[in-house]
Amino acid sequence: MTVDVVCAGAPFLDLVFRGLPRLPAAGEEILADDVAVTPGAMANVAFALRQLGLDAVVCAPVGTDPPGVLLQALMADAGIPWIGEPRPSTPLSVGLPIDGERAFVTHFPTSEVDVKVVGALDARAVVINLPLPPGLPPGPRLIGVVGDPQVARMRQRPPESWADLHAVIVNEREAIGLTDRPDGREAARALASRGCLVIVTRGDAGVVAVDPSGACQEAAAVPVTVHDTVGAGDLFTAAWLWADLADRPLDESLAAAVAYSAFSLAAPGTRQKGLSRAAFLEIADLAGRSRSWMREVRG
The whole-number mean pLDDT for each consecutive block of 10 residues of the chain, a chain of 299 residues, reads 92 94 93 93 97 97 96 97 95 90 87 88 95 88 94 92 97 97 97 98 96 97 89 96 96 95 87 92 80 60
Q: For residue 142, what pLDDT is reported? A: 97
How many CB atoms sit inside 10 A of residue 130's CB?
Answer: 21
**Rounded Cα gap, residues 7 and 91, in angstroms:** 15
Q: For residue 232, what pLDDT is reported? A: 94
Are 74 and 37 in contact, with CB atoms under 8 Å apart? yes
Q: For residue 297, what pLDDT is reported? A: 60
**Residue 269 identity (one-letter amino acid):** G
DSSP readout, the chain?
A: ---SEEEES-EEEEEEEE--SSPPPTT-----SEEEEEEEEHHHHHHHHHHTT--EEEES-EE-SHHHHHHHHHHHHHT--EE--EES---EEEEEEETTEEEEEEE-------HHHHHHTT-SEEEEESSPPTTPPSSSEEEEE--HHHHHHHHTSPPPP-TT-SEEEEEHHHHHHHH--SSHHHHHHHHHTTSSEEEEE-GGG-EEEE-TT--EEEEPPPP---S--TTHHHHHHHHHHHHHHTT--HHHHHHHHHHHHHHHHHS--SS-----HHHHHHHHHHTT---HHHHH---
pTM summary value: 0.93
CB within 8 Å of 246: residues ≥ 6 apart: 293, 297, 299
Torsion angle of the four alpha carbons 165, 146, 200, 40, in this order, in degrees rounded to the nearest 10: 120
Q: For residue 26, what pLDDT is reported? A: 93
Are 279 and 285 in contact, with CB atoms under 8 Å apart? no
**Rounded Cα gap, residues 154 and 144, in angstroms:** 13
Are 121 and 59 in contact, with CB atoms under 8 Å apart? yes
Whether the link from the prior residue into 61 is cis, omega within 30° of 0, is no
How many CB atoms sit inside 10 A of residue 148's CB?
Answer: 13
